Amino acid sequence: MSIKVSSVTKNYQAQKALNNVSFEAKDGQIIGFLGPNGAGKSTMMKILTGFIKPNKGKVLVDDIDVLQNPIKAQEIIGYLPEHNPLYTEMYVREYLQFQASIYKVDKSRIETCINKVGLTSEAHKKINQLSKGYQQRVGLAATILHDPKILILDEPTTGLDPNQLVEIRSLIKELGKDKTVLFSTHIMQEVEAVCDRVIIIKKGELVIDKTLIDLQQNNQQIIKVIFNLEVEESQIKTLENLVVSKNIGNNTWQLTFKSEEDMRSKIFDFAQENGFKVLELSSENKTLESLFRELTLQ
Ligand code: ADP
């Protein structure tokens, strides 16, 4: 089951939420949808599920046009909204029966889903007696009741304690074995733990769409260099293979290169050619965490 998003733009009056975003998700992938708060993640998810309409663009799920045919699309999509809205006064089974009757799902699915999300031992309880992690399992059970082939999960791990986090992540991974999953988060480690692919948006624009393996082997080098003089940004920009440059004050630059060559010697050459001296130079391996920070910070 695939997802295809083409040139989606969404404005809330004057507020731009998404600007010309396109991406595809292939059958069976688990995709981490990352971005800082306000980047447009929830908006994209609501559009994917047919809950709101974009101003421009097209969304297909398994070749069904979500904008033309939202009900048909929703039959194959399971959506867990942010903050997992539940009726917490209800018992777990009662809630799932209620959801099953709304969505006209065979009641026999309830026990299957309870087992699938690891809720069996807690299923006789009231939802408000459950821990946040188990409440999240109830949300996930409701999301998979109609056996959707695509799961859209909006920040499913927010507010969980470290143990619950690990459990819910592994549950998402398990569910992803036979589904295409798109889930939003602002935690990069989560993506490393669970996903095959990473999509990063910032201020409504797509900045990265790569497999995790490509991201991990992206030949990025971060080099921190202190010159003896102030160096103009225009000069720094003449360095080959430079992706990002950041002046961090006191004649110090943090430079990110994408190259298989060791760029440290190039920086010495650059300094010599331009009449500077390198006082200090250090390089670090780029973690996904630092890549994410760099891509999403101002
Ligand atoms: P994220 O999920 O990445 O935090 P959102 O999609 O919620 O981002 O928000 C993207 C932008 O759109 C933000 O600037 C937000 O304030 C704005 N926004 C979201 N929903 C609405 C709405 N219903 N009305 C007006 N502005 C909204």
pLDDT at 1: 67
Tell me what the mean pLDDT of segment 25-37 comes to.
90
Ligand 1, atom 13: nearest CA belongs to which residue? 38
Residue-wise DSSP of 92-143: HHHHHHHHHHHTT--THHHHHHHHHTT-GGGTTSBGGGS-HHHHHHHHHHHH
Contact yes or no for 251/211 (Cβ under 8 A): no
Ligand 1, atom 6: nearest CA belongs to which residue? 40
Q: pTM score > 0.85 for this model?
A: no
Residues with CB under 6 A from ligand 1: 12, 15, 17, 35, 37-43
pLDDT at 298: 55
Report the distance separating Cα 52 and Cα 28, nearest Å: 25
Asked if residue 165 has pLDDT above 60, the reply is: yes
3 C-alpha to center of ligand 1: Å? 22
38 C-alpha to center of ligand 1: Å? 5
pLDDT at 219: 67
Atom of ligand 1 nearest to the CA of 10: 12
Residue-wise DSSP of 197-248: EEEEEETTEEEEEEEHHHHHTS-EEEEEEEESS---HHHHTTSTTEEEEEEE
Asked if residue 270 has pLDDT above 60, the reply is: yes
121: Cβ contacts below 8 Å, ≥ 6 apart: none
pLDDT at 283: 81
**CATH number belonging to domain 220-296:** 3.30.2350.10
pLDDT at 78: 95
pLDDT band at 221 (very low <50, low <70, confident <90, very high): confident
109 C-alpha to center of ligand 1: Å? 35
Q: Please tell me if the domain spanning 3-213 has the same topology as the one spanning 220-296.
A: no
DSSP, res 178: G
Class for the domain spanning 3-213 = alpha beta
Task: Map out the domains of the chain as residue ranges.
Answer: 3-213, 220-296
pLDDT at 216: 73
Ligand 1, atom 12: nearest CA belongs to which residue? 17
Contact yes or no for 99/86 (Cβ under 8 A): no
Q: For a substitution probing ligand 1, which of 8, 10, 12, 203 has the most ligand atoms within 8 Å of its CB?
A: 12
Ligand 1, atom 26: nearest CA belongs to which residue? 12
Radius of gyration of the chain (CA): 23
Task: Summarize the chain as % helix, strand, coil (round to 5).
Answer: 35, 30, 35
Contact yes or no for 54/8 (Cβ under 8 A): yes
pLDDT digits (tens, 9 = 90+) for 120-153: 999 999 999 999 999 999 999 999 999 999 999 9
119: Cβ contacts below 8 Å, ≥ 6 apart: 92, 134, 137, 138, 141
Mean pLDDT of the chain: 91
Question: Measured at the alpha carbon of residue 69, what is the angle toward residues 64 and 71, in degrees to the nearest 5?
Answer: 105
